């Protein structure tokens, strides 16, 4: 018994011992794992801080001083890393002496993605600029001055100035004023310098004429031009709108002839494809010392190395932060199709102070009107799976993010773009070098959930999202407003397959004409400019094989486009969805267009259905369609006091299907009877207008079952344009679509919300 008891006790004891040993072992193992996990996490995270040192280990308590030092550490670590690598950058401003370049050797992988991020909750600025040490002293007339000896020594140069983070005004005439964007703060010339006028200087290339030649200068109006004479006119830069207001252009000034009131242009005029100017071309001139006369203006005397400035109200220059943009680009991802840069994310930074680029090289990537500088504050070429996330591009000098040529599966998401010099996000490929196995274009990239507003400080032919020579680009859930031209623009149909959805765009096309918050072109090989401009002798004309270029269908759906910024003037043109010259192979549906309509110009394979158009400034336009093409316009609701459609030159039916649309005027009697205007223009450019009733239009074979009836919106005052169950639109096949899901999602970073 005792024995048994002892044995039992021994067994129990040994069992207890085993359990204790087992538990201890587990704790040890757990601790060991914990220790390993912690060690691994530590090793996979580097820190950069303004108080750091590049001889440090890069740990949280011993951060590096620069991003490039962290990049070098990542290069080493990734050889052995088993998981994600992160570089956290602590609060402060990092002035880069040169762009941070990521090459293929900096790539992550799907298993080892690499992220460079602002430390959560901290404001981290990556700056392409330089902090100026200014010892201000009075000059005269409220102008302050300071010496910049390093600038005088040629160490650096700048053409923008920021005080306390805000871009200031380079001394100009007339003074800056923005009560009417693109109009106030400008004066008008009397015209351009005549072709036969002899230049007061020799130009060694004046004999090299070409079809796109640009004007040589303007004749100023002595009644409105500045009375001051300028000591250094050759330093000045003119910013002037093109005659049709498709773009603006900049030139340096070569000479001013006060006898004949002529301003002769120097270098420039490349910022738009069509560069003509005339008496309607408003302009201002900047970088003139004698015009330094208003708060916020500044002038840099490079010869003397002296900066002059009149501080804006409320600015104490003694304590002000003075910064000048130096670099044009701050981050460059540079790889190739064969050896791409991949799996790198930039996250959470404020990115600021890049130099303007409008006097740099531009090119025309497609046959559209746009000319673009292939550069950006964050520039990507030869990349895969790279992401720019949750960053704020604060008043950068040119384009903010530019994906040039081969780039695939990249994303720009959760970012804010304000006061950019040119466009916000660009995807631009190259047709001429896409051949055989060379895929020299952006593919399957995304611009989503971005806040883009008040862009185009210098360029006016710009967009929030610009796509040209690319394929399967998605622009979704962006909120875009206060733009001089497009919110989203597709420069051509090559190669299609894009998805434009759930964006909200308002107050676009504020400073230009003949465009829309969404605009597209498709002037590829099939496009016939003669037919496009409706010279009657050009009919009949077949569309040609548009899918040779627009290979895949581009989808434009569930967007909300509203608020006409500009007073509509007859002759200018504004549509919510401007499917301009040659645009082909589009499916456009479930869009809510308030104050603007839809335009489909010559092109083929456009299906426009189930859209809602409210009070458009210009009627829904069907322009210069090809014979026997495949366009479909059906089941749309058009609510208007003007014409239902503007249709050009119907010599024979050129829509495949046009039916089951619902038309209604909220204020009867209709201001026009009949309600469909057909425009014909002869070979001399003379237009004639013929108005048809709906019944007459139906006799031509269109809109046979379409109706004029109240669509019965549920609550338009609260932006709910769904129709009630008894709406006649539903009987015509219209389907309600969800309201209010446009623009930014809840994932948009709280710190960048306005």
Nearer to Ca ion by Cβ, of 580 and 609: the residue is: 580
Taking the complex as a whole, the smallest distance from the CB of residue 294 to Ca ion amounts, in Å, to 5
Nearer to Ca ion by Cβ, of 175 and 482: the residue is: 175
Taking the complex as a whole, the smallest distance from the CB of residue 297 to Ca ion amounts, in Å, to 5
Residues in contact with Ca ion, total (CB under 5 A)? Answer: 8
Residues 6 or more apart whose Cβ sits within 8 Å of residue 570: none
Q: 397 with 374: CB under 8 angstroms? A: no
Position 719 contacts Ca ion (CB under 5 A): no
Nearer to Ca ion by Cβ, of 185 and 266: the residue is: 185
Site for Ca ion in 152-191 (CB under 5 A): 175
Position 578 contacts Ca ion (CB under 5 A): yes
Q: Which of 98, 488, 65 is nearest to 328 (CA)?
A: 98
Nearer to Ca ion by Cβ, of 291 and 615: the residue is: 291
Q: Which of 436, 455, 425, 441 is nearest to 493 (CA)?
A: 441
Nearer to Ca ion by Cβ, of 370 and 458: the residue is: 370
How far apart CA 112 and CA 324 sit, in angstroms, is 37
Nearer to Ca ion by Cβ, of 490 and 546: the residue is: 490
Taking the complex as a whole, the smallest distance from the CB of residue 137 to Ca ion amounts, in Å, to 21
Mark 238-277 with x for binding to Ca ion (rule: CB under 5 A) and - for no binding. Answer: ----------------------------------------
Taking the complex as a whole, the smallest distance from the CB of residue 532 to Ca ion amounts, in Å, to 12
**Residue 301: how many other CB atoms lie within 10 Å:** 16
CB-count burial class (<10 Å; 0-12, 13-18, 19+) for 207 = exposed
Q: Which stretch binds Ca ion (CB under 5 A): 198-206, 497-505, 507-515, 627-635?
A: 507-515
Taking the complex as a whole, the smallest distance from the CB of residue 642 to Ca ion amounts, in Å, to 20
Q: Which of 181, 303, 196 is nearest to 241 (CA)?
A: 181
Residue nearest to Ca ion (CB): 580
Nearer to Ca ion by Cβ, of 44 and 236: the residue is: 236
Taking the complex as a whole, the smallest distance from the CB of residue 621 to Ca ion amounts, in Å, to 11
Nearer to Ca ion by Cβ, of 396 and 486: the residue is: 486
How far apart CA 366 and CA 523 sit, in angstroms, is 8
Q: Which runs of E-coded beta strand occur in 455-585?
A: 465-468, 470-471, 474-476, 479-481, 488-490, 495-496, 499-501, 504-506, 518-520, 554-557, 560-562, 577-579
Taking the complex as a whole, the smallest distance from the CB of residue 578 to Ca ion amounts, in Å, to 4
Nearer to Ca ion by Cβ, of 573 and 664: the residue is: 573
End-to-end Cα spacing for the chain:
84
Taking the complex as a whole, the smallest distance from the CB of residue 594 to Ca ion amounts, in Å, to 19
How far apart CA 433 and CA 424 sit, in angstroms, is 25
Taking the complex as a whole, the smallest distance from the CB of residue 293 to Ca ion amounts, in Å, to 5
Q: 744 with 701: CB under 8 angstroms? A: no
Q: Which of 437, 412, 443, 435 is nearest to 425 (CA)?
A: 412
Taking the complex as a whole, the smallest distance from the CB of residue 640 to Ca ion amounts, in Å, to 21
Taking the complex as a whole, the smallest distance from the CB of residue 521 to Ca ion amounts, in Å, to 7
Residue with tokens 């401009």: 533
Residues 6 or more apart whose Cβ sits within 8 Å of residue 287: 159, 170, 171, 172, 235, 236, 237, 299
Taking the complex as a whole, the smallest distance from the CB of residue 93 to Ca ion amounts, in Å, to 30
Q: Which of 341, 309, 435 is nearest to 106 (CA)?
A: 341
Nearer to Ca ion by Cβ, of 134 and 143: the residue is: 143
Position 290 contacts Ca ion (CB under 5 A): no
Q: Which stretch binds Ca ion (CB under 5 A): 83-91, 579-587, 698-706, 744-752?
A: 579-587
The single residue among 332, 408, 515, 646 that binds Ca ion, judged by CB under 5 A, is 515
Taking the complex as a whole, the smallest distance from the CB of residue 599 to Ca ion amounts, in Å, to 8
Taking the complex as a whole, the smallest distance from the CB of residue 173 to Ca ion amounts, in Å, to 5
Q: 90 with 63: CB under 8 angstroms? A: yes
- CA torsion through residues 18, 19, 24, 26, sign: positive
- CA torsion through residues 328, 329, 334, 337, sign: negative
Taking the complex as a whole, the smallest distance from the CB of residue 322 to Ca ion amounts, in Å, to 20
Q: 84 with 112: CB under 8 angstroms? A: yes
Q: Which stretch binds Ca ion (CB under 5 A): 148-156, 391-399, 577-585, 686-694?
A: 577-585
∠ Cα 354 358 360 (to 5°): 90
Q: Which helix (H) or strand (E) holds 381?
A: strand 378-381
**Residue 204: how many other CB atoms lie within 10 Å:** 6
Q: Which stretch binds Ca ion (CB under 5 A): 15-23, 62-70, 547-555, 574-582?
A: 574-582
Position 394 contacts Ca ion (CB under 5 A): no
Q: Is 178 left (phi over 0), alpha (psi -120 to 50) or beta?
A: alpha
Taking the complex as a whole, the smallest distance from the CB of residue 371 to Ca ion amounts, in Å, to 15
The single residue among 390, 492, 580, 615 that binds Ca ion, judged by CB under 5 A, is 580
Nearer to Ca ion by Cβ, of 575 and 736: the residue is: 575
Nearer to Ca ion by Cβ, of 408 and 523: the residue is: 523
Nearer to Ca ion by Cβ, of 99 and 185: the residue is: 185
CB-count burial class (<10 Å; 0-12, 13-18, 19+) for 149 = exposed
Nearer to Ca ion by Cβ, of 323 and 580: the residue is: 580
Nearer to Ca ion by Cβ, of 90 and 166: the residue is: 166
The single residue among 221, 235, 278, 293 that binds Ca ion, judged by CB under 5 A, is 293
Q: Which stretch binds Ca ion (CB under 5 A): 69-77, 127-135, 572-580, 601-609?
A: 572-580
* Residue 659 Cα distances to 167, 538, 733, angstroms: 52, 27, 10
**φ, ψ (nearest 5 deg) of residue 560:** -120, 115
Radius of gyration of the chain (CA): 31
Q: Which stretch binds Ca ion (CB under 5 A): 156-164, 244-252, 515-523, 606-614?
A: 515-523
Q: 576 with 518: CB under 8 angstroms? A: yes
Q: Which stretch binds Ca ion (CB under 5 A): 209-217, 258-266, 510-518, 536-544?
A: 510-518
Nearer to Ca ion by Cβ, of 405 and 531: the residue is: 531
Position 291 contacts Ca ion (CB under 5 A): yes
Nearer to Ca ion by Cβ, of 125 and 584: the residue is: 584
How far apart CA 5 and CA 26 sit, in angstroms, is 30
Q: 472 with 497: CB under 8 angstroms? A: yes
Taking the complex as a whole, the smallest distance from the CB of residue 598 to Ca ion amounts, in Å, to 12
∠ Cα 111 115 119 (to 5°): 140
Mark 65-84 with x for binding to Ca ion (rule: CB under 5 A) and - for no binding. Answer: --------------------
Taking the complex as a whole, the smallest distance from the CB of residue 382 to Ca ion amounts, in Å, to 32
Cα 351 → chain centroid: 16
Nearer to Ca ion by Cβ, of 574 and 694: the residue is: 574
Q: Which residues sit at the interface with Ca ion, rule CB under 5 A? A: 175, 291, 293-294, 515, 519, 578, 580
């Amino acid at each position: 018994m005792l024995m048994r008891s002892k044995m039992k006790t021994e067994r129990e004891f040994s069992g207890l011992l085993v359990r204790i040993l087992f538990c201890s072992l587990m704790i040890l193992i757990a601790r060991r794992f914990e220790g390993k996990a912690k060690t691994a996490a530590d090793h996979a995270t580097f820190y950069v801080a303004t108080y750091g040192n590049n001889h440090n280990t890069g740990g949280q308590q011993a951060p590096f001083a620069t991003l490039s030092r962290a990049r070098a550490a990542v290069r080493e670590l990734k050889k052995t890393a088993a998981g994600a690598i992160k570089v956290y950058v602590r609060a402060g401003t990092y002035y880069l002496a040169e762009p941070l370049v990521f090459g293929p050797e900096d790539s992550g992988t799907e298993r080892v993605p690499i992220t460079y991020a602002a430390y959560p909750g901290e404001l981290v600025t990556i700056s392409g600029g330089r902090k100026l040490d200014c010892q201000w002293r009075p000059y005269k007339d409220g102008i302050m001055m300071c010496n910049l000896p390093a600038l005088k020594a040629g160490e650096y140069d700048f053409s923008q100035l920021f005080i306390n983070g805000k871009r200031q005004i380079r001394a100009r005439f007339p003074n800056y004023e923005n009560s009417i964007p693109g109009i106030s703060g400008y004066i008008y010339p009397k015209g351009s310098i005549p072709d036969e006028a002899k230049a007061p200087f020799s130009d060694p290339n004046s004999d090299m004429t070409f079809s796109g030649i640009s004007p040589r200068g303007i004749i100023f109006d002595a009644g409105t031009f500045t009375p001051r004479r300028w000591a250094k006119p050759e330093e000045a830069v003119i910013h002037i709108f093109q005659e049709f207001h498709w773009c603006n252009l900049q030139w340096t000034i070569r000479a001013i002839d006060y006898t004949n009131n002529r301003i002769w242009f120097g270098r420039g005029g490349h910022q738009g494809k069509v560069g003509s100017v005339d008496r309607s071309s408003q302009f201002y001139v900047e970088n003139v010392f004698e015009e330094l006369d208003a708060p916020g203006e500044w002038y840099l005397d490079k010869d003397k190395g002296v900066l002059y400035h009149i501080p804006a109200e409320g600015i104490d220059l003694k304590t002000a932060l003075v910064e000048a943009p130096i670099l044009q680009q701050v981050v460059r991802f540079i790889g190739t199709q064969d050896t791409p840069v991949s799996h790198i994310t930039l996250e959470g930074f404020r990115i600021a102070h890049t130099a303007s680029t409008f006097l740099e090289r531009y090119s025309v990537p497609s046959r559209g009107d746009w000319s673009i500088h292939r550069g950006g504050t964050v520039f990507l070429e030869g990349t895969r799976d790279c992401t720019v996330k949750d960053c704020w591009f604060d008043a950068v000098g040119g384009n903010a993010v530019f994906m040039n040529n081969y780039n695939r599966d990249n994303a720009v998401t959760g970012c804010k773009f304000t006061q950019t010099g040119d466009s916000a996000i660009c995807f631009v490929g190259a047709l001429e070098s896409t051949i055989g196995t060379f895929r020299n274009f952006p593919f399957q990239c995304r611009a989503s959930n971005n806040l883009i507003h008040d862009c185009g400080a210098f360029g006016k032919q710009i967009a929030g999202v610009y796509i040209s020579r690319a394929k399967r680009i998605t622009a979704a859930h962006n909120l875009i407003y206060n733009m001089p031209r497009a919110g989203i623009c597709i420069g051509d149909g090559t190669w299609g397959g894009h998805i434009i959805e759930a964006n909200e765009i308002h107050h676009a096309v504020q400073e230009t004409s003949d465009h829309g918050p969404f605009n597209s072109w498709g002037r590829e090989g099939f496009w016939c400019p003669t037919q496009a401009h409706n010279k009657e002798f050009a009919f009949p004309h077949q569309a040609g094989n548009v899918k040779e270029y627009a290979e895949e269908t581009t989808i434009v759906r569930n967007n909300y486009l509203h608020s006409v910024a500009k007073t509509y003037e007859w002759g200018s043109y504004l549509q919510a969805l401007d499917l301009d010259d040659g645009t082909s192979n589009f499916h456009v549906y479930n869009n809510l267009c308030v104050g603007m309509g839809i335009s489909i110009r010559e092109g083929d394979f456009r299906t426009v259905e189930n859209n809602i158009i409210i009070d458009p400034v210009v009627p829904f336009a069907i322009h210069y369609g090809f014979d026997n093409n495949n366009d479909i316009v059906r089941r749309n609701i058009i609510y208007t006091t003007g014409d239902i459609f503007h249709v050009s030159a119907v010599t024979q039916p050129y829509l495949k299907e046009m039916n089951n649309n619902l038309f209604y005027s909220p204020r009867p009697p209709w201001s026009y009877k009949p309600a469909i205007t057909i425009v014909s223009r002869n070979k001399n450019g003379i237009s004639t207008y013929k108005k048809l009733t709906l019944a007459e239009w139906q006799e031509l074979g269109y809109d046979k079952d379409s109706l004029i009836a109240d669509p019965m919106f549920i609550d338009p005052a609260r932006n709910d344009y769904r129709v009630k169950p008894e709406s006649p639109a539903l009987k015509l096949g219209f389907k309600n679509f969800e309201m209010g899901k446009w623009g930014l999602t809840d994932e948009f970073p709280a710190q960048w919300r306005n």
